[in-house]
Every structure is written in C-alpha cells, then in structure tokens.
Amino acid sequence: MKYVKLLPLLVLFITSCSSVRVATDYDTKADFNNYKTFAFYKPGIDKAPISDLDKKRIMRAIEANLLAKGMQKSSNPDVLVSLFTKSRERININDNNAAFGWGWGYGWGWNPWMWGGAGRLNVNQYTEGTLFIDIIDANKKELVWQGIGSGALSMRSTKKREERIKKFVTDILSKYPPGAQRK
C-alpha cells in the first residue's frame, strides 16, 4: 500500500525533471510566411557562455528542426538564428511525510525514524538550464521571435546530454512559427 501512495510523487518527480518549460514571444507585425531560409548568427552564438561542443549540439538540433519545418539553410537568409544560455543551481526539498499525511510518527522514545526524523526530507540538487533561441529578420536586423526553454540539465554522459539538448530545442521550436502548433 505504501508503494501505491508513492507512485503519484514518483511520476510527478520524473515528469518535472524531464520536462522543458517553454515560453515564446514574437512580433505580431512580422509575416512568418515570408521566412523560408535561415543562417546562424555567429557573433551572437559566440557570446553564449557554453562549450563549443554544446554550441555545435544546439546548432545541429536547431538546423534539423528548421529543415523539418521546410526551411532551407542559405548564405543569403531571410532570418538569422542566434542563441544564448544561462544556468543555475537549484535545490528541491520535499517533506515526504507531510505529503502523505503521516504526521509525527508512532510511539515514544528517541528513535528519529519513529518521530519523522531521518528519511523525512528529500533533498535534490540539480542544474537548471535556460536556452534562448532568437529568430532575427535578416533584412531589418530586428528580433521577430524568441523561444525560451528551461529545465533540468543532464550532465551524466555525452549521449544523455545530447538527448537533453535535442529535447530542449525540439520543445522550443515546436512553437515556431507562431500559430504552427494549432494547425
């Protein structure tokens, strides 16, 4: 019966760690139907405070997503794509006993397990990353769309890191162009 009570918390924990929270903003006057070609904006990308390897991973994922949307890479593009990243350490503290209404424990004595001591709090430290993807009108040199994705980063292995980067980019670009997700 204890395991049945733990299942909702486990599902919540797994989905909260694996999800990417996405927000977007865009210029309502921009005609996104006119944007058929893209190129990367190197001066902006060079300023991103991440390794060159991660920049390559992000750029490959962006390119794959935009090509899948029917755009083409060009030396004379309609839009320029830039990116920026931020990260910060986060700590989650969960009171496992309070979440299930177990209260103070059972019986008398000094034993900390009996009084909700040891094992009561679950502390989880992780790095939260934020990826900004900017779409800039190449002719006007104006930002026309920005997607922001935030979530836990995976640092365990190169493969996991690459999968996580692809998820970030795919989730963010699922909102580009504006209105595309409603079709």
Tens of pLDDT along 101-127?
544 555 455 555 555 445 567 777 666
Per-residue CA distances from 136 to 32, 81, 82, 106 (Å): 11, 6, 8, 62
Instruction: Identify residue 46 by its one-letter amino acid code.
Output: D
The backbone region for 100, taken as left when phi is positive above 0, alpha when psi lies in -120 to 50, beta otherwise, is alpha
Decide which of 125 and 33 is more confident. Answer: 33
Q: 20-93+126-182 adopts what CATH topology?
A: Double Stranded RNA Binding Domain (3.30.160)
β-bridge partners, 136:
80, 143
Place of tokens 């969960």: 94
Q: Would you place residue 9 in the very low, low, confident or very high pLDDT band (cuts 50, 70, 90)?
A: very low
Tens of pLDDT along 54-100?
999 999 999 999 999 999 999 999 999 999 998 777 677 776 655 45
